[in-house]
Structure 1
Amino acid sequence: MTIWPPKSGELRRPAYKSLADTVVRAVDAGELHSGDRLPTHRNLAYDLGLSVQTVSRAYDELIRRGVIAGEVGRGTFVRAGRSDTKTPFVQDSQNEKFIDFSILMPVFEAMHLAEMQRALTQLGADLPSSAVSAFRPSTALRKYTAAATKWLEGCGLNPSAQGLLMTNGNTSAMTIALMTVASCSDLIVTEDLAHHTLKALSRYLGLRIQGLEADAEGVVPASFAAACQRSQVKAIYLMPSGLNPRAATMSAERRAELVAVARQHDVMIIENDAWGPLQPDRPAPIAAMAPERTFYFTSLTKCIMPGLRFGFLTMPEAFASAAANRHLVTSWMATPLMAEIGCRWIEDGTAERLLNWQMDALGKRNEVAAKALSGIPFQSSPNGMHVWLPIPGAWTEEEFVAHARLNGVAVAPGSAFAMSESARDQGVRICLGAETSRTLQRGLNVIARLARSNPEPALLTL
């Protein structure tokens, strides 16, 4: 069944929004491409039995989202797929002053810069030749295996029997994992709100992506099982330890249930644990429960320092060679200089000290958020980097994001994480790490005021 063009009677109310969403789905599905010309307002209105005003409003909405563009004298054209352009964070903040809750990052203060300056000064005195001269990945990175193993053990793994790759952070590891477990047209499933790059990356790799029903813990096992019964699922992508947009932490029981379904249907598991040991009381990683089918990745970037782009990918030994080959063609190898700094810090205790500092800082910021949002339903994890705020009252997601921005606060819309345009929970992600303590409080006060305002629906369209 094709998405575009829709047939008369297929659109829901309000028709303008349904038509706009249909165009977005068609772009994301590859039925409309960048540069394609759309029908005139009048012709499309006639074909669908709508008013010209309704079609014009839909086109205006698509222009606002950045999906289409109108050219005087030529018509209206598809500009780009939403998955190609939409990010949850504000990409250019230099020309506008606002409190930025849109980007997910750890707390960074002057002492972090001083720590890196000390590390670079020390490297200037005793930098090993291999950090700048070795060209073969095995030669350049072999010396860091012990430190990598030590960090992964702190994450709850026993990596000695697993394949191990060192990567330039989590994005590199995620790409390698997807390329290794799946081939063109294979189906990947995940929860309905997942990592914001997963949908676009899957499409670039020729993979199909499907969102599953999720609850307060994450993917619902029955939804996973039903997907496996309907189609051949190649892998399930999970963020079980608070990293997911809803800030949900999956219980050990839920993890075991999902593993059981994966084993029954021979589905691989990709576990994104970017925060690593930031959550001290979390259950053991899924990779510890099902090492024979799990690709697990983490890094020092989120829990230690944003600029320390150094991470680890483990996988079943049978996939180690294939993963290494895919790493070669995409990144060649982890940057040895970053590996040198990261592993020195793991070995001399600096990484653990910075981790403990980050846990304490984020714990305090979560307490500030809980106090500011008192009485307003939200979801969080004790040491997490963000909270999830379900859209309150008469607000819509887009209206809440827009009104927050008008009040000088940027938040991430839930739509940026949606795996499909179907019904899902409306909400915003509020990140706690990027701002100072003072601006954090000010921004949370704005969010709380908007959440409590519960405006009349008519006022939101003015």
Structure 2
Amino acid sequence: MTIWPPNKDSLRRPAYRSLAQSLIDAIEAGEIRPGVRLPTHRALAYDLGVSVQTVSRAYDELSRLGVISGQVGRGSFVRSGRPDSRMPWHRLGGSDDVIDCSMLVPVTGDLHSERMSATLAALADDLPGNAMLSFRPRATLEAHCEAALGWLARCGVTTRRDQVLPTNGNTVAMTTALMTAALPGDLVVSEEIGHHTLKSLTNALGLRLAGLPLDNEGIVPDAFDRACRTGAVKVLFVLPSGLGPTAAMMGPKRRHAIVEIARQHDVWIVENDALGPIQPVRPEPLFMLAPERTFYFTGLAKCLLPGLRIAWLVVPDTMVAAARTRHLVTNWMATPLMAEIATRWLDDGTAETLLQWQQAQLSRRNDIAARLLRGLPYTGSPNGMHVWMRLPAPWREDMFVAHARNNGVAVAAGSNFAISDDQHHPAVRICLGAGSEEELERGLSVIARLVRSPPEPALLAI
């Protein structure tokens, strides 16, 4: 039966989504081959009896998914390569009828809206002048840094106020740390399946990047040592506390081993702890084992509220002046109004209340994942925000991501997190925070069914 072009009567609402899906189905069925030129928006709209806007939205969706590409003056073509999955930091639009498990976000609810509304109302009556008028970072944010020390202690980090640099989120902290620890041309090493923006960031900063082999506790010490002996490693960027895609939690013995190798080879450590104290039981941060060489950062956007863009970079004592300079020339200062909100939440107990709420929510969601994914090759953690699912043969990542989306669930392909160009075992990251528990159950049920059901042999040749 011909899939493309579809009959207008076969299109479901929203029509643009159904139209886009019909082209994907036709490609997977082999009815349309790579390189085929598609009809113009106007011509297809006329043939189907739909609006040009509907066709345009369908083509836009297909382009964003990497299924088609547009060439100015020539038209739209089916891509010759396999369609890539949606990048994990691109949130699906509100009109998408898809359960989005592709982006790492905390659970949110009415409690967050209530607390933020109350705080904003209080600010309207009692807004400090320096939150509006000051351009002096240290003076403006001094009280905020003092409040942040308590939250850092909650994360296991004891430090001085002058070593804490407030930033507009974890990404800014990460950038400042790398700019301070390394110069263009220096070598940074990290997990071979690691932070999804690290490749782009190091490339923009002119740094070289290499991935290191992993096991169930993260970076393998022998691999780190070997990299240091064979090349001049300047920085180790590491996610030791379950934040990484594979959800690996580095144990105490492994942390000590990594620190000793860094000391032996005089390597700086950048420790990404963006989830903060989400995990109630975890080993001591690397910063506490090697404060003289570790840049540690954490924030509130991942563990409390996505819109609360505030984080703290804790800097080795000898690098405080350099880090402040790098931050000044790139960001100047953390937004004082956001810092004021965070300070109030840290002082009045709101942050602790939302943290405990988040931990309870994630605990339930991980129980749901454990029940629905039982027996499948996945890894996670008791309070983690995601699980890592290894795909059994003959599934390919791109095929699985496409089929999951066809069935109403968005997940992120493992290749999005690959630091090295070496082949890795096909896998997907499945995030647990978005949507309701009922939606999560439906999404995980779809994923479990797909993993347990190999694709049709005909699809493997596409």
Cα distance change on mapping 1:91 and 1:303 into 2, 3 Å: closer
Q: Deviations over 1:145-196 (max 9, x none)?
A: 2211111111101112872100111000000001000111110000111111
Q: Deviations over 1:125-163 (max 9, x none)?
A: 111111111111012101212211111111101112872
Root-mean-square deviation (CA, aligned residues, Å) is 2.6
User: Quick check: 1:247–1:379 contact (8 Å CA) kept in 2?
Assistant: yes
Residues of 1 paired with 2:115 and 2:215: CA distance? 40
Residues of 2 paired with 1:280 and 1:139: CA distance? 34
Q: Which residue of 2 aligns with 1:194?
A: 194
Q: Which residue of 1 aligns with 2:448?
A: 448
User: Quick check: 1:99–1:408 contact (8 Å CA) kept in 2?
Assistant: yes
Residues of 1 paired with 2:35 and 2:272: CA distance? 37
Residue identity in the other structure for 2:117: Q
Residues of 1 paired with 2:425 and 2:245: CA distance? 11
Q: What number of residue pairs does the alignment pair up?
A: 401
Cα distance change on mapping 1:433 and 1:63 into 2, 3 Å: closer
Q: Deviations over 1:297-344 (max 9, x none)?
A: 000111111111111100111101110011111111011111111111
Query: Per-residue deviation at 1:425?
Result: 2.5
Q: Deviations over 1:244-266 (max 9, x none)?
A: 00011110111111111101100
Q: How does 1:237-386 map to 2 (within 5 A)?
A: 237-386=237-386
SS of structure 2 residue aligned to 1:159:
coil
Residues of 2 paired with 1:307 and 1:71: CA distance? 37
Q: Deviations over 1:21-68 (max 9, x none)?
A: xxxxxxxxxxxxxxxxxxxxxxxxxxxxxxxxxxx96999x9984898
Residues of 2 paired with 1:270 and 1:393: CA distance? 36
Q: How does 1:17-416 map to 2 (within 5 A)?
A: 65=66, 87-160=87-160, 163-416=163-416
Q: Which residue of 1 aligns with 2:460?
A: 460
Q: Deviations over 1:381-431 (max 9, x none)?
A: 110100110112321111110100100100011111111221213210100
- TM-score of the superposed pair, with normalisation by structure 2: 0.82
Q: Which residue of 2 aligns with 1:426?
A: 426
Residues of 1 paired with 2:67 and 2:369: CA distance? 32
Residue identity in the other structure for 1:387: V
Residues of 2 paired with 1:212 and 1:68: CA distance? 34
Cα distance change on mapping 1:186 and 1:69 into 2, 3 Å: farther
Query: Per-residue deviation at 1:96?
Result: 2.6
Q: Which residue of 1 aligns with 2:17?
A: none
User: Quick check: 2:385–2:432 contact (8 Å CA) kept in 1?
Assistant: yes
User: Quick check: 2:180–2:319 contact (8 Å CA) kept in 1?
Assistant: yes
Q: Which residue of 1 aligns with 2:9?
A: none
Q: Which residue of 1 aligns with 2:46?
A: none
Residues of 2 paired with 1:237 and 1:88: CA distance? 20
Q: Deviations over 1:96-142 (max 9, x none)?
A: 31000001000011111111000000111111111111111012101
SS of structure 1 residue aligned to 2:141:
helix
Query: Per-residue deviation at 1:95?
Result: 4.5
Cα distance change on mapping 1:64 and 1:148 into 2, 3 Å: closer
User: Quick check: 2:245–2:388 contact (8 Å CA) kept in 1?
Assistant: yes
Query: Per-residue deviation at 1:439?
Result: 0.7
Residues of 1 paired with 2:429 and 2:402: CA distance? 14
Residues of 1 paired with 2:365 and 2:65: CA distance? 34
Query: Per-residue deviation at 1:457?
Result: 3.9
Query: Per-residue deviation at 1:72?
Result: 6.9
Residue identity in the other structure for 2:381: S
User: Quick check: 1:162–1:316 contact (8 Å CA) kept in 2?
Assistant: no
Residues of 2 paired with 1:225 and 1:134: CA distance? 47
Identity %: 50
SS of structure 2 residue aligned to 1:435:
coil
Residues of 2 paired with 1:378 and 1:111: CA distance? 31
SS of structure 1 residue aligned to 2:160:
helix
Q: Deviations over 1:207-263 (max 9, x none)?
A: 011011111111111111111111100100000000000011110111111111101
Query: Per-residue deviation at 1:73?
Result: 7.1
Cα distance change on mapping 1:107 and 1:92 into 2, 3 Å: closer
Residue identity in the other structure for 2:408: G
Residues of 1 paired with 2:163 and 2:87: CA distance? 32
Residues of 2 paired with 1:164 and 1:142: CA distance? 10
Q: Which residue of 1 aligns with 2:22?
A: none
User: Quick check: 1:310–1:342 contact (8 Å CA) kept in 2?
Assistant: yes
Residues of 2 paired with 1:203 and 1:457: CA distance? 39
User: Quick check: 2:86–2:412 contact (8 Å CA) kept in 1?
Assistant: no
User: Quick check: 2:64–2:86 contact (8 Å CA) kept in 1?
Assistant: no
Query: Per-residue deviation at 1:454?
Result: 2.2
- TM-score of the superposed pair, with normalisation by structure 1: 0.82
Cα distance change on mapping 1:67 and 1:143 into 2, 3 Å: farther
